[in-house]
Amino acid sequence: MTDVLIADDPLYEELYDIRREAAEMGNLVEEDMNPAMGALRDRGAVQKGFLRDLLGLERYQRHAAAQGGEGYTCLSFELCDAAFRDYDRFSSKVYARQADEGGLGVLEMDEPAHRAYRATIQPMFLKPKTLTWWRERWINDVVGALIEKLKAHDRADLNFQLCARVPVHTITRAIGMDGDDSLVFRNALLKSGAPRIPAAERRAAGESVERMLLELIAQRRAEPADDVVSGLVQAELELPDGARRPLTDREVMVNARVLMLAGGGTTWRQLGITLWALLSRRDQLEAMKADRSLVDRAIEESLRWNPTDPVFSRFVAEDAELGGVFMPKGSVLEICLGAANRDPARWDHPDDYDLHRTPKGHIGFGIGAHQCLGMNVARSEMHVALNALADAFPNLRLDPDAPAPYLTGGLEQRGVSAIPVLLT
Ligand code: HEM
């Protein structure tokens, strides 16, 4: 691979700086909020108020549809798990975006339409597919090229040189686009939904995203290939009334766009969090290197300990009660899965990162009908990357002369400042 994957394109710096991204979005929080979220959970599993208000942080409303509503927050594992599964009372319509930002496909749909549309995409994202099709066609090559490039160096910032690149290049290629377009496309995609840039620029970015995807869809309709868009144009949608039809161009475009949006930043930040956890705990890194069955444990524990997206929202679709707290129809429920994943009612010493703990389901990927569609892709990317690093760099360690990494980014999208390492 000789494309932008391994080139030092300045767009990487622009797009993959955790602090800058959050500062531009207006939601940067430098402090580790886990202790405060834990203290909040211990005071009450469900509370009136948006999470940020309860934490004493400046308000940040990422969902335009939720603006002006009254807020509630749930924080215990039991009730966050229940709220995610209760899709009738707690609706995903909260994600509905402004017309010029474009729709979010399955993410913003409620049942029964959601189930019908998700069924057209899901077969390509099931675990067996991500262990074979995804790895053999894209992930192994992307990770392999990046590791080869790293071998020419004795130090690196893994957050930037590995974690950022694996997901964006995997998902762009898997969708069916040319890998060389990965960064240009991601740049336009992020701009099209960025609230702080001028509306005309945002619209232009949105149009270019749509144009690129619609061109790809037309090509794949004419001549299907072996990729996700080809799968979508050939899929049949079975509507709740039993009618069957192919997806329209627009439906394919919207869902391809949400896959690229959801699949780019999350895995970048979560892989960074996982590496940070391991590199700061040498005994656990050594244990994982010696026993590769612990690689998947390391990933799940990172998703439990510090899920990159620790809070998600829902509209309260009808007057509801949760954990003894009444919520009127039309209000917004924030599900703080970050606090839920450290609930002492479910885990011993929940604040510790410990890959030896007995595995127990976490909700780092959400749960219920909307549970992350790409979770097995993300797991596969992280699995291949961690194994490849362990194989290629037996002496991998944090660079003692560089500033120590720390958790930063938006409260809504956590990541690590940098991962400076010595490779040899
Ligand atoms: C470590 C990485 C990731 C994390 C932590 C993560 C987390 C999540 C969470 C918590 C949700 C549920 C949102 C909700 O209930 O409102 C979700 C949904 C979703 N994710 Fe991920 N995600 C990751 C990677 C990916 C990847 C790689 C893809 C695509 C390739 C992806 C595609 C999606 C889609 C399409 C949905 C919406 C599913 C639906 O509404 O039915 N995600 N993700």
Residue 2 within a domain: no
pLDDT at 277: 98
Q: Are strands 407-410 and 397-398 parallel, antiparallel or unpaired?
A: unpaired
Range ranked top by mean pLDDT from 96-100, 205-209, 360-364: 360-364
Residue 28 within a domain: no
Euclidean distance between CA atoms 244 and 162, whole angstroms: 42
Task: Read off the pLDDT band of 1 (50, 70, 90).
Answer: low
Mean pLDDT of 37-63: 93
> Best mutation site among 171, 252, 266, 313 for ligand 1, i.e. most ligand atoms within 8 A of its Cβ?
266
Mean pLDDT of 224-240: 96
Residue nearest to atom 42 of ligand 1 (CA): 374
pLDDT of 65 over the 90 cut: no
Distance 365 CA to ligand 1 centre (A): 6
pLDDT at 4: 60
| Cβ atoms of 421 and 399 closer than 8 Å | yes
Share in percent of the chain as helix, strand, coil (round to 5): 55, 10, 35
| Cβ atoms of 99 and 193 closer than 8 Å | no
Mean pLDDT of 339-368: 97
Of 309, 296, 260, 312, nearest to 386 by C-alpha is: 296
Distance 282 CA to ligand 1 centre (A): 30
Residue 87: which domain range?
10-22+33-422
Residue 183 within a domain: yes
Residue 5 within a domain: no
36-46 pLDDT, tens digit per residue, is 999 999 999 99
89-116 pLDDT, tens digit per residue, is 999 999 887 655 667 789 999 999 999 9
Residue 341 within a domain: yes
Distance 263 CA to ligand 1 centre (A): 7
Residue 377 within a domain: yes
Looking at the 3D structure of the chain, how many domains does it have? 1
CATH value at residue 167: 1.10.630.10
- Rounded to the nearest 10 degrees, what angle do helices 294-305 and 249-279 cross at? 100
pLDDT at 98: 62
pLDDT of 155 over the 70 cut: yes
Euclidean distance between CA atoms 220 and 215, whole angstroms: 9
pLDDT at 57: 95
pLDDT at 14: 78
Task: Read off the pLDDT band of 217 (50, 70, 90).
Answer: very high
The residues that bridge with 326 in the sheet, in sequence order, are: 321
Task: Ligand 1: list residues with CB < 6 Å.
Answer: 92, 106-107, 118, 171, 258-259, 262-263, 266-267, 270, 307-309, 312, 364-366, 370, 372-374, 377-378
Mean pLDDT of 344-367: 97
